[in-house]
Amino acid sequence: MNDTTTLSRTNERKPRAWLRLMIMLLLVGLLAAGLIAFQRFKAGILKQVVISIRSEVPVVATAKAAMQTWQPRQTAVGSARASKGADLAAEMGGVVDQIDFESGQTVTAGTVLLRLRPNDDEAKLAQLQANAELANVTLVRDQRQLAARAIPQATVDTDAANLKVARAQVAAQQALMAEKVVKAPFSGRLGVRQVDVGQFLAAGTAIVTLQQLDPMFVDFYLPQQALANVSVGQKVEVTADGYPGRTFAGAVTALNARVDSSSRMLQVRASLPNADGALLPGMYLSVSVASGEPRSLVTIPLAAVAFNPYGSLVYVLGEENGQQVVKQQFVTTGAQRGDQVSILKGITANDTVVTGGQLKLHNGSVVKIDNTVQPTNDLAPMPVDQ
């Protein structure tokens, strides 16, 4: 009885195990089919997106290459220097007794700026002047005695020497007193006063700076390769960060007599009119020197050129089968001038180049043209206040 019951229960369990296995295999199959269907669906969507993107025609901005007169220039960074400039100081030490100027004042040559306390200088001068007068009286009297043969010639010679010594002592005392008075050695603008009344000054202590601002010098350096194209009298244009939009014109006045052996650079000095005193010594300046004869070059907007390690290229617009098509063209660029660049080789005047939208292009792309928005193409761009 027990064996029969056990066999019956075993036969009932076998179909249930097969049923579970079949259900599991069915679920796995359904899951795999779902994954395959999803991947196919996703691939189809991506393909449609790619086709849609490729079917869109890129919109670009264009400009024509033009032939323009190009003045070769050498550019450099310069430093402003006064045509005359000095930090004024007393030649000897002493206590400041009087200050006769204000900071920033414009003075003429010879203007008294400062006096040191004279102490007993005037008394010493009076004593020496009295000695000189006495020596002169003695000489005149002895000359009369010599004419009467009352004294020897040696006495008159001694009197003459004594008079010269006395006058020299007076001159020395006057020079000593003059050293205690500081005067402007030339006309110009004073800087900020560095001393006060009652202050003791050691010899050589700076009192104030004096700068002659008109004309103004600009010192800058050019490579030795520019020697053949730079000479005295050439025009220069100078700009300063402190005066956006303003250009100062001048001319080269001197070339250094030697090239720096370490940098192989030549120092050049230019002179600029500066009647309003806008430029100050020590200012950082950008200098442009016209060098060589003007020549005609093909120019395009700088935005049209893609600079790459393997070369510079532009997209040139053409027409194929009634459609606007761009072709890649490698070019050799020259000097830049503002927002423009000169082209030495690769394109010619009147070629149409792409100036905007290059990132969407490849060689042979069909494009649409929209020139409502153009990159700047200014020879001398100026910053715009927002």
Number of domains into which the chain is organized: 4
Question: Mean pLDDT of all residues in the chain?
Answer: 83
Q: Is the pLDDT of residue 381 over 70?
A: no
- Please check whether residue 186 lies inside any domain of the structure: no
Q: List the CATH number of the domain containing 306.
A: 2.40.420.20
Q: How far is CA 29 from CA 20, 22, 26, 32, 33, in A?
A: 14, 11, 5, 5, 6
pLDDT of 89-124, one tens digit each?
A: 888 888 888 888 888 888 999 899 999 988 888 899
Query: 338 falls in which pLDDT band (50, 70, 90)?
Result: confident
Name which of 267, 363, 263 is nearest 313 in CA terms. 363
Instruction: Supply the pLDDT for residue 18.
Output: 76
Joined tokens for residue 106: 């414009």
Which range of residues forms the domain containing residue 146?
Answer: 118-179
**Residue 355 to residue 221: CA distance in whole angstroms:** 35
Rounded to an integer, the average pLDDT of 54-73 is 79
Same domain (yes/no): 124, 149: yes
Same domain (yes/no): 353, 303: yes
Q: Is the pTM of this model over 0.75?
A: no
Where are the strands (E) in 224-294, listed by range? 235-240, 248-259, 265-272, 284-290
Joined tokens for residue 367: 């494009």
Q: Does 11 or 318 have the greater pLDDT score?
A: 318
Q: List the CATH number of the domain containing 265.
A: 2.40.30.170
Rounded to an integer, the average pLDDT of 53-81 is 81
Rounded to an integer, the average pLDDT of 254-274 is 90
**Residue 289 to residue 234: CA distance in whole angstroms:** 7
Q: List the CATH number of the domain containing 126.
A: 1.10.287
- Please check whether residue 102 lies inside any domain of the structure: no
Same domain (yes/no): 275, 311: no
- Please check whether residue 347 lies inside any domain of the structure: yes
Cβ within 8 Å of residue 198, ≥6 positions away? 95, 96
**Residue 281 to residue 266: CA distance in whole angstroms:** 21
Same domain (yes/no): 273, 313: no
- Please check whether residue 235 lies inside any domain of the structure: yes
Same domain (yes/no): 322, 356: yes
Judged by average pLDDT, the poorest of 10-19, 33-42, 113-122, 176-185 is 10-19
Instruction: Supply the pLDDT for residue 7.
Output: 47
Same domain (yes/no): 327, 354: yes
- Do 263 and 76 contact (CB within 8 A), yes or no? no
Same domain (yes/no): 308, 360: yes
Q: What spatial distance separates the first Cα and last Cα of the chain, rounded to whole Å?
A: 105
Same domain (yes/no): 167, 152: yes
- Do 195 and 201 contact (CB within 8 A), yes or no? yes
Q: Is the pLDDT of residue 6 over 60?
A: no
Same domain (yes/no): 229, 265: yes
- Please check whether residue 165 lies inside any domain of the structure: yes
Q: Which of 158, 179, 200 is the last residue of a domain?
A: 179
- Please check whether residue 144 lies inside any domain of the structure: yes
Same domain (yes/no): 250, 274: yes
Joined tokens for residue 280: 């100050």
**Residue 255 to residue 227: CA distance in whole angstroms:** 9
pLDDT of 199-241, one tens digit each?
A: 898 888 898 999 999 889 999 999 888 888 888 888 898 988 8
- Please check whether residue 228 lies inside any domain of the structure: yes
Where are the strands (E) in 117-205, listed by range? 181-183, 188-190, 200-201
Same domain (yes/no): 124, 146: yes
Rounded to an integer, the average pLDDT of 237-263 is 89
Instruction: Supply the pLDDT for residue 382.
Output: 56
Q: How far is CA 156 from CA 42, 143, 151, 184, in A?
A: 129, 6, 8, 44
Q: Which of 163, 179, 195 is the last residue of a domain?
A: 179
pLDDT of 279-319, one tens digit each?
A: 899 888 988 888 767 788 888 888 888 888 888 888 998 88
Same domain (yes/no): 171, 228: no
Instruction: Supply the pLDDT for residue 231.
Output: 84
- Do 65 and 353 contact (CB within 8 A), yes or no? yes
